[in-house]
Structure 1
């Protein structure tokens, strides 16, 4: 049985506890043993991180100490533990920690219009296992404009005028697989069938 660690906290406006529960339930349905924690000290336990196949951070903003961050980065980069997350819970965590942002492959910059913007998410490759059978869909939520790593493999996009902006991507960080989805402002957006299915597939893919 694969092991997953979900760590939630940070800015409460993103409903991290509820999002963690939704993602935890999805992983349990996939046969994972899931531990849910509300402290970044979980990242300080090197033995724990070495034993898990997947880490799911749900922690917008906040600060992380070197004693918490270094074992997390090591577990993914060297140990091959997968990491997957969504929205600000992984794409706007620990704003001063550029190595974390490099691992993720992007960092939130702005959400013009704030919450309530209606926009389209377009799937880039309908034959890719992470997106197969999921068509383009409409979201009414925050639309994330992000700084992104040009080396990311992009699976879904949105548009700011003529600018194509990645929504879902994958990458490697050393030995570890990284999955990110910019959707998920609050639990109701994570619970959308398209978002939840994308997250389910992405988390399973990222797991060691």
Structure 2
């Protein structure tokens, strides 16, 4: 059975406890053994983190020990998946650039604040992660993020929808859903999820469900690839000795 750790807290305006509960239910439906924690001390045990298949942060803003980030980073690099949404993952720990580098982006603004109606455009790319999900409209915060150019973008939203100092730059397709690699670990992010009602939207919930599965599969795939490489190296060595 795959193991997942959900760690929630930080700014309560994002309803982290409620969102963590939704994620717990989704993961249990997917057959995960799930631990839910409300303390960052859950990131203190590096060996325990490496024994997981998936880490799900639900923690907006706040401060974190550098060693805790190093422990999470080492776990993900070893193959453990990292997946989250909205400020719970990419507006966490604003003072820690290592976290931002690992997750692939960081929130900087939501012009118009909450209640902005905008369209989520699903991209057709080499990834089939969002296959079968059509473009859809949401009325919530529209996240403007600074994004790692290494990510694979799976969905976008068009800016500007509301006026602001960014408007004269013209139209910008801002990433909403992306994946990236951190070591051999898989990282998944969706910027939707301001509060629990948005996470409960069928499209958003399905996106997160698929993201959790995809991220958690990386550990076994990495182990299989390493085993295959070891076997190949063994046979190559045998051939060289003849």
Question: Could you state the TM-score of these two structures normalised by the residue count of structure 2?
Answer: 0.84
Q: Say whether the 8 Å CA contact 1:126–1:133 is kept in structure 2.
A: no
2:186 aligned to which of 155, 177, 182: 177
Q: Which runs of 5+ in 1 are unaligned?
A: none
1:122-133 correspondence runs (5 A): 122-125=121-124, 128-133=127-132
1:75 partner SS: helix
Task: Tell me whether 1:63 sits opposite 2:63 in the alignment.
Answer: yes
Instruction: Trace 1:154-169 onto structure 2 (pairs within 5 A).
Output: 154-161=153-160, 162-169=171-178
User: What residue in structure 1 maps to residue 226 of structure 2?
Assistant: none
- Equivalent residue, structure 2, for 1:45: 45
How far has the Cα of 1:73 moved from its partner?
Answer: 1.1
More strand by percentage: 1
Q: Matches of 1:175 and 1:128 in 2, distance apart?
A: 17
Give per-residue Cα distances to partners, 1:37-86, cap 9 Å, x unaligned.
00000000112101100000000000001232221111112x21110000
Match of 1:27 in 2: 27
Rounded to whole Å, the distance in 1 between the matches of 2:98 and 2:188 is 16
Would the aligned equivalents of 1:157 and 1:165 in 2 still touch at CA under 8 Å? yes
Structure possessing the higher relative contact order (Cα contacts under 8 Å, 6 or more residues apart)? 1
The structural deviation recorded for 1:137 is: 0.3
| Conservation of the 8 A alpha-carbon contact between 1:126 and 1:132 | no
**Which ranges of 4 or more aligned residues in structure 1 deviate by more than 4 Å?**
none
Q: 1:203 matched to which residue of 2?
A: 212
Compute the TM-score of the two structures, normalised by the length of structure 1: 0.97
Aligned pairs, number = 207
Rg: which structure is higher?
2
Give the Cα–Cα distance (whole angstroms) in 1 for the partners of residues 151 and 131 of structure 2: 19
SS in structure 1 at match of 2:64: coil
Quote how far apart the aligned CAs of 1:90 are. 0.2
> Among 177, 184, 199, which residue is 1:190 paired with?
199
Contiguous gaps of at least 5 residues in structure 2: 161-170, 220-242
- Asked whether 1:103 is paired with 2:112, we answer no
CA contact (8 A) 1:167 1:183 kept: yes
Deviation at 1:16, TM superposition (A): 0.2
Distance 1:191 1:35 in 2: 21
Partner SS for 2:107: strand
* Counterpart for residue 114 of structure 2: 115
Q: Secondary structure at the match of 2:149?
A: coil
